[in-house]
Amino acid sequence: MEITAFLDRKLARRFRTYDSDGDGFIGRDDFTQAGERTTKAFGLSGDDPKAVRFHAMLAGLWDQLHSVTDQDHNGRISLEEYKKAFANGLLETPESFDDGYTPFLDAIMAIADEDGDGKLTLQEHVTWTGALLNLSEADARGIHDLLSDDDGLLSTRALLEAIREFYFSEDPAEAGNWLLGSLD
């Protein structure tokens, strides 16, 4: 995969959302902390089946990401290692991305979609993106407005399409490219 200047900016932004402690590296603790913030934000106990599933998905995501990106085997991922993994084909096609990402998105929706209708309200979206991704409320509101339907709800399908656009689209006009707010 070619890392264009636009994709480089998006990957740097995504890296920052993973780096919970802001130390310039992604580690297992970043994933653990993000998971704990998210389940706590929705009032789930650690033994709630939704929380257990979500934490297991995060652990699996960390294991997968770590196994293909940590080139120096120091237990953490640098921004350069993260970008290099993408250049080497971490995400090969939008279809393979969907296969790998859908179960994780389902685990998030099981927590964030409190009424289980398959759609997120503005507040649900603001809460999960703030807790998991450290997004500002303004950024979360902005992307929710871009992606939501006429009723102000954001469907799982629309969210998956936006995430796919974030990784695969080079068109700055595509809403998914702003999924994490400003790229600066």
Other CB atoms within 10 Å distance of the CB of residue 28? 14
109 within some domain: yes
- Taking only Cα atoms into account, the Rg of the chain, rounded to an integer number of angstroms, comes to 16
Contact 141, 126 (CB under 8 A): yes
Sequence-distant (6+) residues with CB within 8 A of 80 are none
At 181, phi and psi to the nearest 5?
Answer: 85, -155
The CATH number for 10's domain is: 1.10.238.10
Domain residues for the domain of 77 are 5-177
Residue 2 is predicted with a pLDDT of 77
Read off the amino acid at residue 137.
E
173 exposure class (CB count in 10 Å sphere: 0-12, 13-18, 19+): exposed
Query: In total, how many domains does the chain have?
Result: 1
pLDDT block averages, 10 residues each, the chain of length 184: 87 92 93 95 96 94 86 92 80 68 90 94 96 94 93 93 90 92 81
Contact 53, 108 (CB under 8 A): no
127 within some domain: yes
Residue 28 is predicted with a pLDDT of 94
Which residues of 109-153 form beta strands (DSSP E)? 119-120
Residues found in the chain: 184
124 within some domain: yes
What does pTM read for this prediction? Answer: 0.88
182 within some domain: no
Residue 65 is predicted with a pLDDT of 84
- What is the spatial distance between Cα 97 and Cα 16, in angstroms, rounded to a whole number? 20
Read off the amino acid at residue 30.
D
Helix (H, G, I), strand (E, B) or coil at 123: helix
Q: Which two tokens stand for residue 84?
A: 């290099």
The two beta strands, 76-78 and 154-155, are unpaired
Residue 119 is predicted with a pLDDT of 95
184 within some domain: no
- What is the spatial distance between Cα 59 and Cα 140, in angstroms, rounded to a whole number? 24
Contact 77, 27 (CB under 8 A): yes
183 within some domain: no
